[in-house]
Amino acid sequence: MPLINTQYDSIMREYARRQARSRQELEERLARIHRELPALSSLEDEITACQAGKVRAAVSQDRKQAEALDAALQELVRKREALLAAHGLKPSDLEPVYACPDCQDTGYIGEQKCHCFLQAEIDLLYHQSHLREVLERENFRTFSYEWYEGEDREIMRRNVMDARLFIEHFDDSFQNLLLLGAVGTGKTFLSNCIAKELMDSCHSVVYLTAFQLFELLSQAAFGRDRQGQSGRQAYPYIFDCNLLIIDDLGTELPNSFTVSQLFLCVNERILRKKSTLISSNLDMEALRNIYSERTLSRIISCYTIRQLPGSDIRIRKKLNAGSPGEI
C-alpha cells in the first residue's frame, strides 16, 4: 500500500518540523553557550580557518603544510574540548539533537527510507494511532498479576520474563513467539506490552488480527481494496516490518487459502529473519489439524511457545467490578 501524496506530504511535513525545531534549539543553545564562554568564539574561528587552510593545502598538494595544519587543528579541537569540559559541557552540546540520529530527521539514509519513516508509514496505513491508544492502557506498567492465582501466577511471571527477554534481545538474536491460552487469559495484553516497548524504541510493528491478515492477503491474490490499491502492495509491510503480530489465529474462517497463506507468511518471515508473534486460543493439536503438519513444523522449529494459564479474566473482572488492577 504505497502512500498517496497527501499521506507522504504529511509525513515529510513532520520531518520538516523536527528539523526546524532542532535548528532553533541548537541556535538558542549555541547563543547561550557563547554568551557564557566568550573564548569559545575565537577558538571556533581558528578551527574554521585551520580547516579552510587544510583544504587549500590539499588542493595545492602541499603535504608539509597539510600535516602542520592537521596538527594545529587537533590541538585547537583539544583546547575546545577542555574549555567545554571545564564548564560541564560536551562537544555534542554544539551539535543538533535529532529525534532519529540514524537519518538526522530527514526520513532517509542515502536513498533508502529510514526505519523511522517506515514506522510512520505503518502508523498511517494500519491505523497505529488506534493501537497507540490501546498501548497507553495495555503495557508492562499497567500489567498486574492480581488475576492469576497460585501456580498460574508463577507461570505468568515466567511468561512475562520471557517477553522481556524477547524485547531485550530483539536486535541481536532472531526469535519468534507463539502465545497459546484460553479466551481472556491475557495473550493480546501481553502482545501489546511487547508491541509498545518495541515501538517506543523505533522498531516497526504491524498488528493484525488473523482476519485482517488474511483479508489483506486475499486482496493481494484476488483483487483490489476500496481505494483501488492492489493488496499486493501490502506485502512489504507484512513481510519486512521488524515485528508482525498476528492476533487470535483460528478465529478467522479457515480454508485452503488461509492455510496456504499462513505457511507463506510464517515461512517467508523466517527466511527474511523477521520476527513474528502469533497468539491463538487453539491448542497445538488443533493448530496441526487446521493449518497442516508442514506449517506447525515450521512454527515448532523456529518459535518459542508459551502457554498462558487461567480462565477468562474479562469475565472475572465483570464479576468483581470495582476491584483494582489491570490485565
CB 83 within 8 A of CB 46: no
154: left (phi over 0), alpha (psi -120 to 50) or beta: alpha
Task: Summarize pLDDT for 147-205 with one digit per residue, the tens.
Answer: 888 999 999 999 999 999 999 999 999 999 999 999 988 999 999 999 999 888 768 88
Question: What 3-state DSSP class applies to 141?
Answer: coil
Confidence bin at 223 (pLDDT 50/70/90): low
What local confidence, expressed as pLDDT, does residue 230 receive? Answer: 47
For the residues 267-292, what does the mean pLDDT come to? 95
Task: Summarize pLDDT for 290-307 with one digit per residue, the tens.
Answer: 999 999 999 999 999 999
From the candidate CATH numbers 3.40.50.300, 3.40.50.720, 3.40.50.150, 3.40.605.10, the one assigned to the domain spanning 126-319: 3.40.50.300
What local confidence, expressed as pLDDT, does residue 30 receive? Answer: 92
User: Is the predicted pLDDT of residue 325 greater than 90, yes or no?
Assistant: no
Question: Strand order of the sheet with strand 205-209?
Answer: 205-209, 243-249, 275-280, 177-180, 304-307
Question: What 3-state DSSP class applies to 131?
Answer: helix
User: Is the predicted pLDDT of residue 6 greater than 70, yes or no?
Assistant: no
C-alpha dihedral (197, 130, 249, 188), degrees to nearest 10: 50
User: Is the predicted pLDDT of residue 2 greater than 60, yes or no?
Assistant: no
What CA–CA distance (Å, rounded) separates 110 from 102? 11
User: Is the predicted pLDDT of residue 4 greater than 90, yes or no?
Assistant: no
The CA-CA-CA angle for residues 275, 279, 224, to 5°, reads 75
Count of all residues that appear for the chain in the document: 327
What local confidence, expressed as pLDDT, does residue 228 receive? Answer: 41
CB 152 within 8 A of CB 185: no
What local confidence, expressed as pLDDT, does residue 219 receive? Answer: 81
> Radius of gyration of the chain from Cα atoms?
27
The three cell numbers of residue 246 are: 498476528
What local confidence, expressed as pLDDT, does residue 303 receive? Answer: 97
The CA-CA-CA angle for residues 97, 103, 108, to 5°, reads 145
Kindly list the domain boundaries of the chain, sorted by start residue.
Answer: 5-94, 126-319
Least confident among 17-26, 131-140, 192-201: 131-140
Q: Over the chain, what is the mean pLDDT?
A: 86
What local confidence, expressed as pLDDT, does residue 233 receive? Answer: 59
Q: Which amino acid makes up residue 197?
A: E
Task: Summarize pLDDT for 25-70 with one digit per residue, the tens.
Answer: 999 999 999 998 999 988 888 999 998 988 898 888 888 888 888 8
